[in-house]
Chains A and B, each alone.
Chain A
Amino acid sequence: MQNAVQALFKIMPFLFGIGFIAPLIAQTMSYWEWEPPLGLSPIGFGLLIGGPWGLYATWRGRWL
């Protein structure tokens, strides 16, 4: 159990990227009526940003 929780927190920035940042980007774009590039859907674009950003934070240990 402890190991599972530790593993979960280790990848938490990635989960946060796809679990929160991606829909936040998508819904913000829809609110301001911004069109995603390359014919992507808002959530597709959100995942394209949030996923790699979360991975970067997991790898580097910081968001910026």
Chain B
Amino acid sequence: MAVTEGQGATDAIFFREGLVETPARGDAPAIPLTGDASLDKHIRVALLKEEREIARRFEGGKMWIYPAFAFTCYAIWLSFFPLAIMGWLNLPLAFVLSTVFAVGGYVTSHEAMHSNIGRPGSKTRWLNEWTGKVSTIIIVFPFSMARLMHLEHHYHCNHPEKDPDYPDRANGPWHAIYKTWLNRQPGVDGSIHIYKRILAEMGTKEAADSLKDTIRLQLIFMAVLFGMAWSGYAIEAALIWWLPRHIGLSYIRFYLSWAPHHPREERGRYTNTRLFKSRLGHIGSIGMETHFIHHLYPGIPSHRTKEAYHALRPVLEKRGVHCPEI
């Protein structure tokens, strides 16, 4: 199903351009080729070829850093629990680190969602899958669900009903921060309710399994919190898992979903995501200043999108894409 995964994404563009005759999936193009309306088709195809050639140079790279980060952080985070119970843990430090791990975990799992660590059938596929699985445990968002929802986001970016991230739409940064909290409330028609509806519409075994994984992980999370709390370690559980999860989810929603897609009105290949300058810098915004490049070429890993943006900028400007200094 992963048309937008890695190489598939760029192939899909050529399908839309009529260079390869392949039917589009669903009732709307996943990544329609739009851009400056004044450019004729010949120029647009030429620009796309040039763009694709440049982008290819940035796909792959030092991908080992993602599993290394994911497994190291997971092991450190896991060690916090026995250390906290034994009283050998600096809790404020553990809280800060757990929050960093929660946010960073989504970045490493994101690479796995796009199979950038190991393609299906490759020798490193298992590493790809396990990197994804361990990375999202802290935020209690199983990899199976995260991957399905993220790929749906790519297929239907900014579609009010089909984009699972659409509930993050907000008028401004403060409203966006508020929405990250609101969408997690139990009775609000926020993220999890949208996910469940989309999964039901998909109706596949993969979708049903991901929902079961989510229920299982949620129950484990609650069991750990309740068990630790009633054993006298409520503060430890709050600072190692509960708070880092909530802060991490809000941070992720703000920077990965709201900031690069604001105002969420356009659905074109060159208009559904924006380039922006973050006050927290490129690392502080978890590389999301150039998330636009990721939507064009999901095979380019997070740590190379900025570099790729600088190389692609002249071609993108010819297309009429607003390219700020980043």
Contact = CB atoms under 8 A, between A and B. Distances in A.
Interface in B227-242: 229-230, 232, 234-235, 237-238, 242
Contacts of B185: 57, 61-63
B247 to A, nearest CB: 16
B219 to A, nearest CB: 8
A31 B187 contact: no
Contact of B235 (A5, A24, A61): A24
B234 A20 contact: yes
B229 A19 contact: yes
B126 interface: no
B225 interface: yes
B188 A62 contact: yes
Interface in A7-64: 9, 12-13, 15-16, 19-20, 22-24, 26-28, 31, 57-58, 60-63
A5 B218 CA distance: 11
Contacts of B222: 12, 15-16, 19-20
B287 to A, nearest CB: 32
Chain A's interface size range is 20 to 34
Given A27-B235, A28-B235, A60 B226 contact: no
Contacts of B215: 5, 9
Q: State the main secondary structure of chain A at its contact with B.
A: helix
Contacts of B232: 23, 27
A54 to B, nearest CB: 10
B186 A20 contact: no
B226 A58 contact: no
Nearest to A27: B234
Interface string B137-168: 00000000000000000000000000000000
A57 B218 CA distance: 18
A20 B237 contact: yes
Contacts of B182: 62
Of the candidates B188, B222, B237, the one having the most CB atoms from chain A within 10 angstroms of its own CB is B222
Given A12-B222, A27-B232, A20 B242 contact: yes
A19 B235 contact: no
A28 B185 CA distance: 24
Q: Among A12, A19, A57, which residue has the most Cβ atoms of chain B within 10 A?
A: A19
A60 B215 CA distance: 22
For B186, B222, B225, B237, which residue has the most chain A Cβ atoms within 10 angstroms? B186
B225 A19 contact: yes
Nearest to B212: A5
Interface in B191-223: 215, 218, 222
A19 to B, nearest CB: 4
A24 B226 CA distance: 10
A63 B183 CA distance: 12
Contacts of A61: 185-188
11 contacts: A5-B215, A12-B222, A16-B225, A19-B222, A19-B226, A20-B237, A20-B242, A22-B229, A23-B229, A23-B230, A62-B188
5 closest A-B pairs by CB? A61-B187, A19-B226, A62-B185, A23-B229, A24-B234
Interface of B: 182, 185-188, 215, 218, 222, 225-226, 229-230, 232, 234-235, 237-238, 242
Interface of A: 5, 9, 12-13, 15-16, 19-20, 22-24, 26-28, 31, 57-58, 60-63
